[in-house]
Amino acid sequence: MKLFEQQELVIYNSISKTKEKFKPINDGSIGMYVCGPTVYSNVHLGNCRTFLSFDLIFRYLKHLGFKVRYVRNITDAGHLENDADSGEDRIAKKARIEMVEPMEIVQRYTVDFHQTMSLFNALPPSIEPTATGHIIEQIEIIEKIILEGFAYIVNGSVYFDVHKFNETNSYGKLSGRNLEDMVANTRDLAAQSDKKNPQDFALWKKAEPEHIMRWPSPWSQGFPGWHLECTAMSTKYLGKQFDIHGGGMDLKFPHHECEIAQSEAALKTNPVNYWMHANMLTLNGKKMAKSTGNNILPHEIFSGINSILSKAFSPSVTKFFMYQANYRSILDFSNNALIASEKGFNKMMEAFKMLSEISISDECDFDPSAWKQSCYDAMNDDFNSPILIAQLFEAVKIINSAKEGNIKLDQNAITILQDTMQLFIFEVLGLQENLIINTTDDTKLEGAVAILIELRNQARINKDFATSDLIRDQLKVAGINLKDGKDGTSFSLN
């Protein structure tokens, strides 16, 4: 019997806004599509949280014994600067500024994305298609939508007719938005002059003379709309209807709303059974944004080279921090939160290693089977990683208490603790040993100084001020000045 036949999984469905018992379309198999990155810049931490949330989901579904086809796309064309179908293509703009080919930008930041996900120990998807690799499929879907009467052609561009669609369908059901309210709150913008209505969205855009990325179509030399690629790729690899569609909360409207409309118009079916959305990260209580400078990149966390954190933190500590909140909750990123996560992470890993040192008794004061099921219960409840982590720390308490001789554990309890902690820490959460990632000589220096700062902090905690002062003074002689602040200790070079 497969594990998924023994465990009842419930998932919060964004479209019904309730938790629902999970039942795949095909017994034992799952199709899951997640919107991937637009590769015009280094992947930021907020994006990483979304992808790590679905890595956790992918890992757990696989552990339960499901055969999972996980498709995550790469957007390498068609994503304009704003959602009103105006502005430059983000990749083409970056290429113009740097005076390189757009595909050089795509290659550079796709590699960065893969490297970052690898450092986080995220599993690769089953299929990772690109928008530019599926132009033909996108054109075919546009032709179907036109044939069904839900799109119109203007000056070589093709637009989806939201108002016509809404006469027989429900546009806005995922986000809970009402079309009449959208109309009332919309200003007529000059950039939307080709559209019948501002709410309509582009399926195909005629390329202006300066637009580098363009392909032939029945309507013009141009490029597909951003929303279209996901409909084309998800249906190609998962079918007209599949189980799970995921992405960041910011994609719910308009991106995912438009995907639903496109699929229903072209394929005459509801495309997805369960919509899942990961919430955003904030930084020191404010929304992360590159434009305001309130932002931090993963490599800046791993190296410690940034103005926000007092030291470097490993990918696993960073991921452990993210998993201490449910994927649907807003999570605030700060130096203190990372320090607390590192302490908790180390405590958990030390307890796991300590299991092999515990004396085995013929008696047992702990019910390991009930505890093991509590770990499954946490993940079965909409992949509730913070509750899972809380259960792992219940095990930490038991292990520490047994080590001190306060409770007794028999061989069965120790075996279940070892196997279950191994499973959930390494296989499901995908955590690794707490290793700082250093990639350059500068980051090696950062890592070495971080170790000395930690040793100094431990000396101060132990009231060994002689050692604490010695570390500070010797570093100063070497040209490294330590500065103690409310958020920890930083350093500068003479």
- State the DSSP code for 123: P
β-pairing, 151-154 vs 157-160, is antiparallel
For the four alpha carbons of 52, 57, 61 and 64, in that order, the dihedral sign comes to positive
* Residue 345 CB contacts under 8 Å (≥ 6 apart), including other chains: 316, 317, 320, 431, 434
β-pair partners for 158: 153, 204
Q: How far is CA 69 from CA 37, 56, 263, in A?
A: 19, 15, 20
Of 180, 78, 74, the closest CA to residue 128 belongs to 74
* Bridge partner residues of 222 (DSSP): 206, 215
Classify 432 in phi/psi space as left (phi over 0), alpha (psi -120 to 50) or beta.
beta
Preceding peptide of 254 cis, ω within 30°? yes
* pLDDT, tens digit only, all 494 positions of the chain: 899 999 999 999 999 999 999 999 999 999 999 999 999 999 989 899 999 999 999 999 999 999 999 999 999 987 887 766 777 889 988 988 999 999 999 999 999 999 999 999 999 999 999 999 999 999 999 999 999 999 999 999 999 999 999 999 999 999 999 988 888 766 554 444 689 999 999 999 999 988 889 999 999 999 999 999 999 999 999 999 999 999 999 999 999 999 999 999 999 999 999 999 999 999 988 888 666 667 899 999 999 988 889 999 999 999 999 999 999 999 999 999 999 999 999 999 999 999 999 999 999 999 999 999 999 999 999 999 999 999 999 999 999 999 999 999 999 999 999 999 999 999 999 999 876 554 444 556 777 787 788 778 877 776 677 777 878 877 876 778 888 876 678 777 75
